Amino acid sequence: MPLELAEASLLLTFFNALTEGSTYALIAVGYTMVYGIVKLINFAHGEVYMVGAVTAWWLFVTPQVPLLAALLLAMAVCAALGLALDRVAYRPLRRSTRLAALITAIGMSLVLQTTVQLTFGAKFEAFPETTRARVLVDGCPARERPDPAARAVVTLGLGSQPPVAQPAGPTPDGWVPVAWTVDARTSEPGGPTPGGPPGEGAADAPTSAVLWVEAAHVRRLQGTPPALNADVLAGAGGERLKLPLKDVLIWVAAAGMMLGLHLLVQRTKVGRAMRACALDQTTAALMGVSVDRVIAYTFMIGSAMAAVAGVLYSLKVGGNISFRMGYYPGVIAFAAAVLGGIGNLKGALLGGMLLGFTKAFCATYLSSDYDFAACFSVMIGVIIFRPYGLLGRPGATRA
């Protein structure tokens, strides 16, 4: 089915929204479960997501562990990390003021960031598989170029800057480099960009990257640049929409884990104990529930889910793995948990999706400069009218 540019762009945005939403939901679940039981905002949770991605990346690249095994190991590492955070940082403060625990959480976040920075350095890394350049612009045929310059291709919103320059002539086989201003958060800054402006390597400043496109299509890029996503549009002849496999993987994983968690919480004895602890810890203990153990399970489950989010999302976007990667997803997922109704699992899913859609559609149709602002505006708007969140109830906190 040939797609018009506008349609393709809408679909891509929709896919991105689902993917971002799934990622936020997977992270938000960790915030909301812990809050539901301990009434603590675990501000180190975004860092758990980061550690998950870094761990899997390191295992995949250095000892060359197969990807699935790396993912499972990263989940195990994060579960252990969640357990350790609770045991070392939060359990000793269980009976002190909530402010003390909150400050400790922020402290743990810094400790984890710095530890990773000191261990792995401050570079941005990517899963090698994602750096293979599969470039396609505006429906032109997919071509693979093992050229590192093409790594920078990720997603460009319609509102992105037009090409800043055409730095070099076509290659002998008819490919032309085009420099774009791209959002550094979703691409790899500082990579070798022959002919383009040198990458600054700064994380937040927009940087430039070079796309290679067939000469025949260059003219069509002179105006407003189309939404690009190398993975999404790469298909036979470039005219048929192919389901973006990595996105599908994220959707399936997120849906599967959310469903699994729902069944765990609703149908199993451990889940019942979690709900009981969320409702009334003393009474749960009077039933024989070891509250500390339930809290430990909660931290472990939430952390393992954050690891999945970190690994899968990094597989998709590429070039985002660094000690700082947990900050924005952590903050957005926290906002998602709050606006969905903190303590409520379905609220975390709903909030995550809402912010994923807000962010992706804002990036495509307004400006990617304002995508976070749009997310927080939505959150503030919801909180003004429903201070307890979309699915929360006044005064109620549930797991």
Q: Which residues of this chain interact with other proteins, rule CB under 8 A?
A: 269, 272-273, 275-276, 279-280, 282-290, 396, 398
Q: Choose between 65 and 285: whose C-beta lies nearer to other proteins.
A: 285
In angstroms, what is the minimal distance from the CB of 217 to other proteins? 58
The amino acid sitting at 327 is Y
Among 321, 399, 335, smallest CA distance to 371 is for: 335
Q: Choose between 132 and 267: whose C-beta lies nearer to other proteins.
A: 267
Q: Choose between 276 and 321: whose C-beta lies nearer to other proteins.
A: 276
3-state DSSP helix/strand/coil percent for the chain, to nearest 5?
A: 60, 5, 30
Q: Choose between 190 and 392: whose C-beta lies nearer to other proteins.
A: 392
In angstroms, what is the minimal distance from the CB of 366 to other proteins? 40
Q: Choose between 172 and 288: whose C-beta lies nearer to other proteins.
A: 288
List alpha helices for 268-344, DSSP H: 269-279, 281-286, 291-317, 327-341
In angstroms, what is the minimal distance from the CB of 273 to other proteins? 7
Residue 139, phi-psi category: left (phi > 0), alpha (psi -120 to 50), beta (remainder): left
Q: What are phi and psi of 156, to 5 degrees?
A: -115, 130
In angstroms, what is the minimal distance from the CB of 353 to other proteins? 24
Q: Choose between 65 and 279: whose C-beta lies nearer to other proteins.
A: 279
Q: What are phi and psi of 297, to 5 degrees?
A: -60, -40
Q: Choose between 25 and 278: whose C-beta lies nearer to other proteins.
A: 278
Distance of CA 355 to the CA centre of its chain: 12
In angstroms, what is the minimal distance from the CB of 38 to other proteins? 17
Q: Which residues contact 357 (CB under 8 A, 6 or more apart)?
A: 17, 21
In angstroms, what is the minimal distance from the CB of 264 to other proteins? 14
Distance of CA 91 to the CA centre of its chain: 28
Among 10, 30, 25, 14, smallest CA distance to 313 is for: 25
For residue 91, with 0-12 CB atoms within 10 Å meaning exposed, 13-18 middle and 19 or more buried, which class applies? middle
Token readout for 35 is 């809050």
In angstroms, what is the minimal distance from the CB of 262 to other proteins? 15
Q: Choose between 36 and 226: whose C-beta lies nearer to other proteins.
A: 36
In angstroms, what is the minimal distance from the CB of 289 to other proteins? 6
Residues 59, 73: Cα–Cα separation, whole Å: 9
Distance of CA 149 to the CA centre of its chain: 24
Token readout for 355 is 């912010």
Is the Cβ–Cβ distance between 177 and 168 less than 8 Å?
Answer: yes
Q: Choose between 219 and 269: whose C-beta lies nearer to other proteins.
A: 269
In angstroms, what is the minimal distance from the CB of 266 to other proteins? 9
Q: Which residues contact 123 (CB under 8 A, 6 or more apart)?
A: 322
Terminal CA-to-CA distance of the chain, rounded, Å? Answer: 44
